A and B are shown apart, each in its own frame.
Chain A
């Protein structure tokens, strides 16, 4: 092979991003399987009988919307799926017990998807920076690099990872992650 390190680093970065894209697609595909779980839950002995007609119709509507989403090529399907479930829960309180735990599971999958996407951004930022900044970081360079890494992050947990290793990064106002309660 005899690959020099710049080419190898780019190839490994591209493989990493390809692999993470595969993981994201798997996460989305896995998320769409909640229809099977909802089906099982609704058909559980006793549950169907105890549900109002409105709740049953709402559940049917959820399942139809998930099927449409499954067939759709759009991005961020998990986010959309959670929004569907949350909006129907607001209209039908009695579905909360049924779908609440599923929404939580999906939120973790959405966070995973976000983690994967942002790790790819970190790799791109690093490889670009190591060509322009140099390998040894003085205080100002470390802070500047830390801010670039922070810009790759979405959640507070991810930003906390960067802050754990780099002191002096500006603190933002804490805003709850949109996907979590």
Chain B
């Protein structure tokens, strides 16, 4: 959409360009993660790769929400297989998994899937080596998405407030703070914008699996 001179302020024009650049950056993060997922198809079993692909679609594509159950079933099957493989490898690991699985039953959808994946990568070193690069790239895509979405939100709201002639931004600054989804992000935002220490213990949201890195 071409903006004709006088039709829009510099702020509005910049915002539109900035938002498109945000989307471009998100798309590049997604393309990178998809490419790594594609590479993994050459060394993971079809079943494992399909399960990871389903998870990726589920997590990053809202239209795929209804497939949650299928994904959970896929991973449960994988989980059973891994347990069978490890049957002679140590009771403690299997006990841990059973406990974890019980807890995971209380969760739904993605959270359930995430916990299962986390258990899978602690079950077997070979599994971990194969899965971690793919999960790590998804985690990376998720982190980029969140950061860029927060930045997009903050600037969209700010420029709208400027256009409305608002003089102070305290409320908006707090609203943005409430969106932040990781401790690392809060540690940057609070001292810089709110001039105060970040709250402690809020933790991280998103695909935050313990990959043991």
Contacts and interface: CB of A to CB of B under 8 A. Distances in A.
B154 A149 contact: no
B21 A137 contact: no
Nearest to A36: B133
A1 B151 contact: no
Interface in A1-51: 1-5, 8-9, 11-12, 14-16, 18-20, 22-23, 26-27, 30, 33-34, 36-37, 39-41, 44
Contacts of B17: 122, 149, 161-162, 165
B153 to A, nearest CB: 11
Given A3-B170, A40-B43, A161-B20, A33 B136 contact: yes
Contacts of A133: 10
A62 to B, nearest CB: 15
Interface in A140-171: 141-142, 145, 149, 157-158, 161-162, 164-167
A37 B16 CA distance: 38
A58 interface: no
A5 B157 CA distance: 13
A139 interface: yes
B158 A12 contact: yes
Contact of A8 (B1, B18, B140, B193): B193
A130 B10 contact: yes
A39 B162 CA distance: 52
- How would you classify the secondary structure of chain B's contact residues: helix, strand, loop or mixed? helix
Contacts of A134: 10
A161 B147 CA distance: 21
Contacts of B5: 137-139, 141-142
Given A9-B158, A26-B143, A115 B28 contact: yes
A129 B2 CA distance: 20
- How would you classify the secondary structure of chain A's contact residues: helix, strand, loop or mixed? helix
B167 A5 contact: yes
Contact of A109 (B24, B32, B162): B32
A164 B24 CA distance: 14
Q: Which 3 A-B pairs have the closest CB atoms?
A: A105-B35, A108-B32, A115-B25
Interface of B: 1-6, 8-11, 13-14, 16-18, 20-22, 24-25, 28-29, 31-32, 35-36, 38-40, 42-43, 129-130, 132-133, 136-137, 140, 143-144, 147-148, 150-151, 154-155, 158, 162, 166-170, 173, 184-185, 188-189, 192-195
Interface of A: 1-5, 8-9, 11-12, 14-16, 18-20, 22-23, 26-27, 30, 33-34, 36-37, 39-41, 44, 101-102, 104-106, 108-109, 111-112, 115-116, 118-119, 122-123, 126, 129-130, 133-139, 141-142, 145, 149, 157-158, 161-162, 164-167
